[in-house]
Amino acid sequence: MKKGKEHLKDGLPLELLVNMQRLREEGEWFEGELHPSALDVREDELLGIAGPLRYRVHVMVAGEEVLARGWVAQCLRCVCGRCAADFESDFEDPEFFASFPREETLEFLDLTPELREGILLALPNYPVCNEECRGLCVRCGANLNTQKCSCPPGAREAKWAALDQLSLKRPES
């Protein structure tokens, strides 16, 4: 891996560069951490970076291709889609894979964009703090994980009442 002052931030590399001229015939394992800014996402109140991007990747030449296979993970701060609580969780791609055309003139192969893509694809559309999260009461907004709501039992939101009248029986033919 090529390292220099311009490739480090807070002591962590900003990119994963594989020296293609020194890559062993059987391939090599690359394991380590990249600075959190390597993820290159705009942080906001719904998503934040909580740690370095971690990886363990095997890189090898196979015919006319360079193959990278392994694992990549990143700890992120999110807002739960059910209860709106902040939480941190590791998001990972345990089956990371990338393929590149082999170029004889290529001195260094930068795997950073593919590692980033592996993490972004691992993000759920609807992050939850835990699978048992009970969410918020649809009527009063109480967090059902931490308190009981004051709504009467069995009360249903009026906008869904029409579904109670729906008949799911199929007509006889």
C-beta of residue 87 within 8 angstroms of C-beta of residue 129 = yes
Q: pLDDT of 34-93, one tens digit each?
A: 888 887 877 777 788 888 999 999 999 998 999 999 999 999 999 999 999 999 999 999
Q: What is the pLDDT of residue 114?
A: 93
Query: Does residue 131 surpass a pLDDT of 90?
Result: yes
Report the amino acid identity of residue 118: G
DSSP 3-state of 61: strand
Mean confidence (pLDDT) of the chain: 85
DSSP symbol at 63: T
Q: Determine the pLDDT at residue 173.
A: 65
Contact 32, 110 (CB under 8 A): no
CA 162 – CA 18 distance, rounded (Å): 60
Model's pTM, two decimal places? Answer: 0.73
